[in-house]
Structure 1
Amino acid sequence: MTTHTPRRRPPPPAGGSDFARLSKKIAEAGLMNRRPGYYIVRSIVVAVAYAGGWSAFVVIGAGWWTLALAAFLAVMFGQVALLAHDVAHRQVFRRRRPSETAGRIAGAAIGMGYGWWQDKHTRHHANPNHEGLDPDIAPDLLVWSQDQARAATGLPRLLGRRQAFLFFPLLLLEGVNLHVSSARALGNRTLKNRALDGALLYGHTAAYLTAVFLVLPPGMASAFLAVNQGLFGLYLGCLFAPNHKGMPTLTGNDRPDFLRRQVLTARNVRGSWFTDLALGGLNHQIEHHLFPSMPSPHLRRARPIVRRYCQDLGVDYLETGLIASYRQALASLHQAGAPLRRARISSARA
């Protein structure tokens, strides 16, 4: 993964920062206005589909057709996660309390600790693709830069050599990782509302496992869990991988201004209304990072305004197709693991 060195630029002209002037254009276009009708309809559709999936699971009972329902519910889990994301950014409610209440309800439906996720995601938005500050590119099983690869030990060092090939298979574990990370975060005493988050998380786990093993025999229940959680994790990974992976990273004291920090580290994905539906509007990642509280149905309308503004400033604005975005992410992962492959070759020759 490459490291971005911010361009030196002259002081902004009178009238505020580059972002302030863009923000004024966006506000004048009415794109920061709330969309209560849209979110009411979307929430009802997702809730009905989610509840309908579980109702069909109980009605069908023991049978291998339940694996199709496991796949359907994996998609519904992803759609609930996208709603929780919009709620957390106050795209739905302007005030904090209803946003947190709705976010916790959505998080409980999929086994996600809302407080942990919100804290993590807020830090990502503040410093996207900044090594040491963005938790989404902290080295874990994978390494995201060659510097991380050189410092890697244990499993990341082993996996890092072929991590581009392992990326999508590893995403099958992302749903489980979401639950485990949520549970681990409960040990952090600085996390607010730990008791409530813990009760919701373990309540979901108990209800989920009880329902599956009560309706299905053990072997079939295990298959249901594998399909449901595996595809849920794959869907989550496919939602977020196109957004920043393979884009420039920042290190140390690299601190471009807000507009450049958000635009240069993000990638948009072109597509139709179906792309917006499947990716929850996150395919307009640049606009989302610039205006996190903008309702997701407005992001597509904001795109030409932001793109033209960036062109006028000479700021790179990247858009690509969905498949191309995955190619770029995988190429970046392969490049990041290069020091580990070279070290293995040197060791073999020695």
Structure 2
Amino acid sequence: MIPIHPGEAAAAGSTYAELSRRIASAGLMARRPGYYTAKVTATVAALLAGWAAFLLLGNTWWQMLVAAFLGLAFTQVAFVGHDAGHRQIFRTRRAAYVAGLLLGNLGIGLSYGWWVDKHNRHHAHPNDLDTDPDIKAGALVYTSGQARLRRGVSRWLSRIQAYLFFPMLLLEGLNLHLSSGRALTGRTVRSRRVRALEAALFLAHVAGYLTVVFLVLSPIHAIVFVVVHQAVFGLYMGMSFAPNHKGMPVPTGADQRDYLRRQVLTSRNIRGGRFVDFALGGLNYQIEHHLFPSMPRPNLHHARALVRSFCTEHDVSYTETGPVRSYAIVLKHLNTVGTSM
């Protein structure tokens, strides 16, 4: 579903084709069914355990701990859905699609079709102002050109956007749900039949979620539970994706980089070992992931040394930093852009 894989290497340019051959020779595009069987089982089990704890605890403020746990669990489910969308788990498009619907629309209330459409465009041209939806001006601005177009209150908010960044991430969960709902009432999901199926599963999630929460909890407990749950979910999701590209070069449509450089020069890896690998769902290997979207998550760290060495050979800048430093870079970039008006 996500474009560009080794089978398309010839179309992507000779430098990338050579890297693709090395990656394939190392066996790094091979499926990892054992890993994903365990990963999917553990992730779904954690989600179900969270809801079981919710039902057992009943109407108590201790439920706010469950809300926070479920916010983390929702994000881990999203990571697995992300892998399914890239066809890292299943060989067939149909299997990936079914998994995406169950994990996304039904499991956590995100439209799988909307996400695939949006994510495809991001992967094809990361950080491209003309084509990457993840860098369009919205609540945040990412370039001085976007900032100069702000007026009134929006202009003032852009000036302090670095200070608002983490608080705004608390609303990202709500934003993802609302964007999914809007997509399912429009034409982002193009097939009417598919849109109806996605909408039914999405509404089943929303209705089931609100019904269970408000049946088990008193109104005040229920409202706070939803706020805590969605805030943790949004913060975790935002913190997982923010370090990957923000603050990296922003090419334009006229910038004719080859595929390898377009992907590597706009992406940032995050160091940190197994804990960071788990916490960020493998997205910390953003360079390798963008070069080989269908590479199974557990193979990405093996590919890192090979890709980094290859970039050194070809004088391609390979950016990697620690987690804290990555957020500092993002905040500095947002501040520089926001105050450049």
TM-score norm. by structure 2 comes to: 0.94
Question: What is the root-mean-square deviation in Å for CA atoms of aligned residues?
Answer: 1.0
Query: Which 5+ residue runs of structure 1 have no aligned equivalent?
Result: 1-15, 341-350
Match status 1:142 vs 2:140 = yes
Residue of structure 1 in register with 2:232 after alignment: 231
Give the Å deviation of 1:203.
1.1
Letter of the 1:55 counterpart: A
Q: Deviations over 1:302-324 (max 9, x none)?
A: 00000000001000001100000
Distance (whole Å) between structure 1 residues aligned to residue 316 and residue 233 of structure 2: 36
1:331 aligns with 2:328: no
State the shift of 1:187 in Å.
Answer: 2.8
Correspondent of 2:49 among 37, 46, 52: 52
CA distance in 1, matches of 2:317, 2:153: 36
Q: What is the one-letter code of the residue matched to 1:53? A: G
Give the aligned residue type for 1:182: S
Distance 1:153 1:114, change over 3 A: farther
Name the TM-score, length of structure 1 as normaliser. 0.91
Letter in 2 for 1:250: P
Task: Identify which range, 302-311 or 181-190, moves more after superposition.
Answer: 181-190
Residue by residue over 1:81-117, the C-alpha shift from the partner in whole angstroms, topping out at 9 and shown as x without a partner, is 0000000000001110000000110102111000001
8 Å contact from structure 1 (residues 67, 224) kept in 2: yes
Structure 2 residue 198 is the aligned partner of structure 1 residue 197: yes
Distance in 1 of aligned mates of 2:41 and 2:336: 44
The aligned counterpart of 1:301 is: 302
Write the distance in 2 (CA, Å) between the matches of 1:275 and 1:189.
37
The total of aligned residue pairs comes to 325
* Contact kept in structure 1, 2:123 and 2:290, CA below 8 Å: yes
Unaligned runs of 5+ in 2: 1-12
Mean CA deviation greater in 197-206 or 28-37: 197-206
Q: Please say if 1:129 is aligned against 2:127.
A: yes
Is 1:30 aligned with 2:10? no
Instruction: Classify the secondary structure of the residue corresponding to 2:185.
Output: coil
Q: Secondary structure at the match of 1:339?
A: coil
State how far apart, in whole Å, the 2-side matches of 1:59 and 1:71 are.
Answer: 16
Of the structure 1 ranges 263-272 and 155-164, higher mean CA displacement relative to structure 2 is found in 155-164
Q: How far apart, in 2, do the equivalents of 1:141 and 1:319 lie? A: 27
The residue that corresponds to 1:314 in the other structure is: 315
Q: How many Å separate the matches in 2 of 1:309 and 1:170?
A: 38
Contact 2:71 / 2:229 at 8 angstroms: preserved in 1?
yes
Runs of 4+ residues over 6 Å off in structure 1: none
Find the aligned partners of 1:126 and 1:157 in 2 and give their Cα distance. 30
Aligned residue for 1:21?
A: 18
Decide which structure has the larger Cα Rg and report it: 1
Q: Deviations over 1:115-155 (max 9, x none)?
A: 00110000000000000210000001111100000112455
- 2:97 paired with 1:96: no
Specify which of 166, 169, 174 is matched with residue 167 of structure 2: 169
Deviation digits for residues 22-52 of structure 1, max 9, x if unmatched?
0000000000000001000001101111001
Paired with 1:118 and 1:158, the residues of 2 have a C-alpha distance of 34
Q: What SS does structure 2 have at the residue aligned with 1:186?
A: helix
CA distance in structure 2 between the aligned counterparts of 1:337 and 1:277, rounded to whole angstroms: 32
1:64 paired to 2:57: no
Q: Contact between 1:141 and 1:155, CA under 8 Å: does it hold in 2? A: no
Instruction: Answer whether contact 2:114 2:188 (CA < 8 A) is retained.
Output: no
Partners of 1:98 and 1:155 in 2: CA distance: 47
Deviation, 1:167, is 0.3
Asked if residue 111 in structure 1 is aligned to residue 109 in structure 2, the reply is yes
For 1:244, the aligned partner's letter is H
